[in-house]
Chains A and B, each alone.
Chain A
Amino acid sequence: MNWFDDWALPLGVFLPAVGMVLLFFIPKANETAHKVTALLTTVATFAVGVVILCRFNYTSGRLQFTVNEQWIPVIHSRFHVAVDGISLPLLVLSMFVCILAVIYSWDHFPEPHNPRAFLALILLLEVGMNGTFAAQDLILFFVFFEVVLLPMFFMIGVWGGPNRQYASIKFFLFTLFGSALMLVAFLALYFLSKHPTFDMVRLAQMHGAGIAYGTQLLVFGGLFLGFAIKVPIWPFHTWLPDAHTEAPTVGSVLLAAIMLKLGTYGFVRIAIPFLPRAAQTWAPWIGLLAVIGIIYGSLCCLAQRDMKRLIAFSSVAHMGFVMLGIATLTNFGINAAIFGMVAHGLITGMLFFVAGSIQERYNTREMSRLGGLLTQAPKLGWILGFCAMASLGLPGLAGFWGEFPAILSAYAPAGNISEVTFRVYMVVAAVGTVLAAGYLLWMFQKVAFGTPKDEFKDAHIHDVHGPEWIAWTPLLLLIVIFGIYPNFLFKITDPAVTRETREVAVVLHIANQPKTEAATR
């Protein structure tokens, strides 16, 4: 199976592109063939992911399945892809959710229909997402990071809700602006490093050697803005509610489940290991924005009337927990953050699926008009309840293991980051979990309890149907499995995270040394 190791990642990244090209060769009328092709492509891609999972060495913590080929020698950029415990869960999650997206769309493509284009966009999106998680070269990373923009732009703009034009442009411009700054930061890293290179592995080993501390802070600022807009961290989040609200269901799911993780992944993979000293200086500020995001997101949720918008704001809050974990720069915090990313992907993805299905049945997402879901479509109602519980961090479900350790990790941040500050953040974040319980239960109560409103009293509401069951069951199962046995995931992430944080800790220790000496003297 040696050949497999050499081809696994290129296959995992580019199979969807092959499927996309195939779609264009199938006549437009033959919709079933389009759906089958897209499904087979995503399943085949996921199969590659499963084999990677089987052949992955879980103890080493190193990058595996490395492919490092010449790409653009003139600018010293290489086609370098590899995965380790940090990227593997996200890569497989992306492959997995794309299958569900295709299945869910099976016979409800939003207006204006056109399955071929819609499926092609899903596949192109998958190329970008998988590629970002696999890339180990900054330029390659940048290209994949940007590839996701266009499909999402069109998905929102063509298949979205009434306010889709505004939402799609806003989404595109925010991210474009962030990535322009990110690219400038990448170039600065290249030109300023001791050994100019775009190779992420080598840049991570150098820890910003040769770059003056003040410049490091600026470069980190560029990276921060690029990733923060994608996450999104408060106050860069304003594109998210609009994009989520207007996007078609599948678009919202992919956006929440995977695309937001590109930003947090960027912090873990690039910003922190490349420039640990700058990260240490920035950490209290990132932590501050994170907790503001938690509280602000939660409060906004309580003020929403639109169900999808509520879930979108809850994403802002949840990503706040993830960012808080990352900002501690500790092993514990980053492990929690990755768990949080996967858990949020599963749970919020599920919530958007349910919200989409409710809208399809009631033609509204206005919570004041909904009610009595449990009497009209009990299964759908209970699934919504289950997801709300998972999302508020009920122990025993996946959401808990993203939030709880992240809060705990804030007790003792790494390096000489102020403990007092982070302990304050910890308390605030803990308050945030209470608010989360508040708005999620409130939403559940509004939508599911009581009796249906008069306008829907006699409406015939379908309960969960075939494609929905197929798309949702795996997600629901995973939420339970990861909740009961979180080690499934921690086992994968921990060795790689330990490696990274140990190196960061060493750099910080050396960097902080003279200061402590001066203090004792």
Chain B
Amino acid sequence: MNPVVDYHALAPEIVLTTTIVVVLIADLLFPERARWQTSRIASIGVLGALIPVLTLASGVFTDNHFVPRSMFGGAYVVDEYALVLKGFFLIATYIVLLLSIDEIKEGDYYQGEFWYLLLSSVLGMLIMCSARDLISIFVALELISIPTFVLAGWKKHNSKSNEAAIKYYLIGVISSAVMLYGMSLIYGLSGTTMLRGIFAYLEHAPDLGLILVACFLTLVGFAFKISAVPFHFWAPDTYEGAPTPVTAFLSVASKAGGFVALLTIVFVGLYPQPDGWQPVLWFLAAASMTVGNLTALRQTNIVRMLAYSSIAQGGFILAPLAVAGSGSNNGRDSFQAVVIYILIYGAMNLGAFAVVIAVARRTRSGAISSYSGLGVTSPALAVIMTMFLFSLAGVPPLAGWFAKFVMFRSLLDAGGAWAVTLAIIAAVNSVIAFFYYGAVARRMWFDAPAEGATAPRIPAALNLSIGLCVVAVVVVGIYPQVFAHLGDVAARSITG
């Protein structure tokens, strides 16, 4: 029997795959001088893949009875949740492309392969959004990871970059193995790889023992991917060593990929047995935000600081998941909170990295001290960076406040001693986080610039990417309904 293939539903993946092939061939055919054209093809491909996402999503907004398109026996589903996140991944990728274009063109890099690898990883993310069984989730996760191993080592002649790639590769492989073992246990117990089947099995599971082990191992595997403490130590080195646009991609898109996988597994598969995943996630969340924040305080390099900050932010994203089992409406508030946080985090973190890239064009340095007096030399850039930093710190009226708000809301909605304790830990951490975000802002505004410092010249593509992020951070901060609605739609499709 041939499987039914819904070409409309698969169109984003098909467009992207076609683009990947075209980029690869173009790289072979184009002469050296014209290679930069491949970036153009990649951008067009990403925007092209966005079109079917929008046409599919038009059904969501026109009538409320959006019928999810399900394929391969329910292993691959295109519902509102998948569409929202596919849209997010494609737009985030477009911004990363804008960040990379001049960086890759001016550096001594291999152009065609860069775009090819980047887009392959994005393809994995698109598949991840729709994957609803263990095998496709695993395949998607590997498709996301493997190209990024290579990307992390892109600066071939730089020993830091090499170290970054090796570290990232080894830890990625180990985590995959651990996760796979956990998944195999789940399969052995329930007899199915379909998340729906696992859900049904867990509802009437006779004995918990092995289930707990299976859940634990699977979650630990994901914890590596999302660089949750104590499985985070690869992240700062990798982030610092990799080219900055790749770091932006890793810290936003690839990390979000891990969170999407977690969301799907927890809500579609493991939800009936909260004891299996709540304690682990609780610990990961609390440890990530605390350790991430405290370590970020000591950093002198902005990329490393952002790396630790993104570990801490990962803790904030995990927090609602850790109490999802006790929330009202099947944990809908928690699901919403995670999706909204991912969307907002994407905008503000990409923006911050964009500014880092822009500043590094002049200073050629990632030292936080090189931000001294940026408010005098290039006020516009400093204003924008301040907005991103304070958004990350969660200060209204910038988008970050709403992300934090929905997180606190889901924690207090779940109630109970554990959730409230986590809320208090999160509140204390939000205050700590201000120290290091504020420290950069202080450098920019309160300190005098270094001798002979000038404003960096920023290429158009970089300007565009910064502009997109600023608009998102401001608009969502003032009118959060934009993203809140997306989160709500996504949550409804999974939690019913």
Q: Does chain B have a CB within 8 A of A74?
A: yes
Chain B residues with CB below 8 A from A164, complex form: 446
| Residues A72 and B431 in contact, CB atoms below 8 Å apart | no
Interface centre among B376, B379, B412, B484 (most CB of A within 10 A): B412
| Residues B396 and A183 in contact, CB atoms below 8 Å apart | no
| Residues A187 and B390 in contact, CB atoms below 8 Å apart | no
**B189-216 vs A, Cβ < 8 Å mask (1 yes, 0 no):** 0000000000000000000000000000
Q: Please tell me which one of the listed residues B336, B396, B409 contacts residue A142 in the complex, with CB atoms under 8 A apart.
A: B396
Listed stretches A168-176, A318-326, A410-418; interface member: A168-176
CB distance from A76 to the nearest CB of B (A): 10
Give 30 CB contacts A-B under 8 Å: A70-B481, A72-B480, A73-B484, A74-B481, A74-B485, A75-B406, A112-B376, A117-B379, A143-B396, A143-B397, A146-B395, A146-B397, A146-B401, A150-B395, A157-B442, A158-B445, A165-B442, A165-B446, A168-B446, A169-B438, A172-B434, A172-B438, A173-B431, A173-B434, A176-B395, A183-B405, A184-B423, A187-B409, A191-B412, A191-B413
**Chain A interface (Cβ < 8 Å from any Cβ of B):** 70-75, 112, 117, 139, 142-143, 146-147, 149-150, 154, 157-158, 164-165, 168-169, 172-173, 176-177, 180-181, 183-184, 187-188, 191
| Residues A180 and B430 in contact, CB atoms below 8 Å apart | yes
| Residues B479 and A176 in contact, CB atoms below 8 Å apart | no
Q: Does chain A have a CB within 8 A of B315?
A: no
| Residues A74 and B488 in contact, CB atoms below 8 Å apart | yes
Output the nearest chain B residue to A143 by Cβ-Cβ distance. Answer: B396
Q: Does chain A have a CB within 8 A of B74?
A: no
Q: Does chain A have a CB within 8 A of B408?
A: yes
Output the nearest chain A residue to B491 by Cβ-Cβ distance. Answer: A74
| Residues A149 and B395 in contact, CB atoms below 8 Å apart | yes
Q: Please tell me which one of the listed residues A74, A154, A172, A191 contacts residue B415 in the complex, with CB atoms under 8 A apart.
A: A191
| Residues A177 and B431 in contact, CB atoms below 8 Å apart | yes
| Residues A180 and B412 in contact, CB atoms below 8 Å apart | no
Q: Please tell me which one of the listed residues A70, A71, A150, A180 contacts residue B390 in the complex, with CB atoms under 8 A apart.
A: A150
Chain B residues with CB below 8 A from A168, complex form: 446
Chain B residues with CB below 8 A from A188, complex form: 412
Distance of A72 Cα from B435 Cα, bound (Å):
30
Q: Does chain A have a CB within 8 A of B221?
A: no
| Residues B484 and A74 in contact, CB atoms below 8 Å apart | yes
Output the nearest chain B residue to A71 by Cβ-Cβ distance. Answer: B481
| Residues A73 and B481 in contact, CB atoms below 8 Å apart | yes
Output the nearest chain B residue to A160 by Cβ-Cβ distance. Answer: B446
Distance of A13 Cα from B254 Cα, bound (Å):
41
Distance of A165 Cα from B480 Cα, bound (Å):
32
CB distance from A54 to the nearest CB of B (A): 30
Inter-chain pairs besides A71-B479, A158-B375, A172-B434, 16 sampled, C-beta below 8 Å: A72-B484, A74-B484, A75-B409, A112-B376, A143-B396, A146-B395, A146-B396, A146-B401, A147-B396, A173-B435, A177-B431, A184-B408, A184-B412, A184-B427, A191-B412, A191-B415
CB distance from B437 to the nearest CB of A (A): 11
**Chain B interface (Cβ < 8 Å from any Cβ of A):** 336, 375-376, 379, 390, 395-397, 401-402, 405-406, 408-409, 412-413, 415, 423, 427, 430-431, 434-435, 438, 442, 445-446, 479-481, 484-485, 487-488
Distance of A73 Cα from B401 Cα, bound (Å):
17
Interface centre among A157, A177, A180 (most CB of B within 10 A): A180
- With A147-B396, A187-B409, A191-B415 known as contacts, the answer to whether A176 contacts B431 (CB < 8 A) is yes
Distance of A190 Cα from B481 Cα, bound (Å):
19
| Residues A158 and B336 in contact, CB atoms below 8 Å apart | no
Distance of A84 Cα from B376 Cα, bound (Å):
44
| Residues B438 and A180 in contact, CB atoms below 8 Å apart | no
CB distance from B379 to the nearest CB of A (A): 8
Chain B residues with CB below 8 A from A117, complex form: 379
Distance of A158 Cα from B443 Cα, bound (Å):
11
CB distance from A144 to the nearest CB of B (A): 8
CB distance from B430 to the nearest CB of A (A): 6
Distance of A191 Cα from B412 Cα, bound (Å):
8
Distance of A154 Cα from B427 Cα, bound (Å):
23
Distance of A107 Cα from B274 Cα, bound (Å):
65
| Residues A154 and B445 in contact, CB atoms below 8 Å apart | yes
Chain A residues with CB below 8 A from B442, complex form: 157, 165, 169
| Residues A74 and B412 in contact, CB atoms below 8 Å apart | no
CB distance from A391 to the nearest CB of B (A): 32
Chain B residues with CB below 8 A from A146, complex form: 395-397, 401
- With A165-B442, A172-B438, A187-B409 known as contacts, the answer to whether A74 contacts B487 (CB < 8 A) is yes
CB distance from B69 to the nearest CB of A (A): 25
Chain B residues with CB below 8 A from A149, complex form: 395
| Residues B487 and A183 in contact, CB atoms below 8 Å apart | no
Q: Please tell me which one of the listed residues A70, A147, A181 contacts residue B427 in the complex, with CB atoms under 8 A apart.
A: A181
CB distance from A208 to the nearest CB of B (A): 17
CB distance from B395 to the nearest CB of A (A): 6
CB distance from B156 to the nearest CB of A (A): 42
Output the nearest chain B residue to A116 by Cβ-Cβ distance. Answer: B379
Chain B residues with CB below 8 A from A142, complex form: 396
Distance of A238 Cα from B413 Cα, bound (Å):
34
| Residues A183 and B408 in contact, CB atoms below 8 Å apart | yes
Distance of A146 Cα from B396 Cα, bound (Å):
6
| Residues A187 and B481 in contact, CB atoms below 8 Å apart | no
Chain B residues with CB below 8 A from A165, complex form: 442, 446
| Residues B484 and A75 in contact, CB atoms below 8 Å apart | yes
Output the nearest chain B residue to A188 by Cβ-Cβ distance. Answer: B412
Distance of A341 Cα from B446 Cα, bound (Å):
33
Chain A residues with CB below 8 A from B480, complex form: 72
Distance of A172 Cα from B484 Cα, bound (Å):
28
Distance of A158 Cα from B442 Cα, bound (Å):
9
- With A184-B423, A191-B413 known as contacts, the answer to whether A143 contacts B401 (CB < 8 A) is yes
Distance of A112 Cα from B488 Cα, bound (Å):
47
Chain A residues with CB below 8 A from B412, complex form: 184, 187-188, 191
Output the nearest chain B residue to A74 by Cβ-Cβ distance. Answer: B484
Distance of A112 Cα from B446 Cα, bound (Å):
10
CB distance from B268 to the nearest CB of A (A): 22
Chain B residues with CB below 8 A from A187, complex form: 408-409, 412
Distance of A187 Cα from B438 Cα, bound (Å):
26
CB distance from A203 to the nearest CB of B (A): 16
CB distance from B256 to the nearest CB of A (A): 20
Distance of A159 Cα from B429 Cα, bound (Å):
29
| Residues A180 and B484 in contact, CB atoms below 8 Å apart | no
Chain A residues with CB below 8 A from B408, complex form: 183-184, 187
- With A154-B445, A157-B446, A184-B408 known as contacts, the answer to whether A147 contacts B484 (CB < 8 A) is no
Chain A residues with CB below 8 A from B401, complex form: 143, 146
Distance of A139 Cα from B397 Cα, bound (Å):
11
3 residue pairs, one from A and one from B, having the closest CB atoms = A74-B484, A143-B396, A146-B396
Chain A residues with CB below 8 A from B336, complex form: 74
Output the nearest chain B residue to A120 by Cβ-Cβ distance. Answer: B383
CB distance from A476 to the nearest CB of B (A): 35
Interface centre among B375, B405, B434, B487 (most CB of A within 10 A): B405
- With A146-B395, A158-B445 known as contacts, the answer to whether A72 contacts B481 (CB < 8 A) is yes
CB distance from B406 to the nearest CB of A (A): 7
Distance of A149 Cα from B446 Cα, bound (Å):
16
Distance of A183 Cα from B402 Cα, bound (Å):
12
Chain B residues with CB below 8 A from A173, complex form: 431, 434-435
Distance of A73 Cα from B488 Cα, bound (Å):
10
Output the nearest chain A residue to B485 by Cβ-Cβ distance. Answer: A74
Distance of A181 Cα from B412 Cα, bound (Å):
13
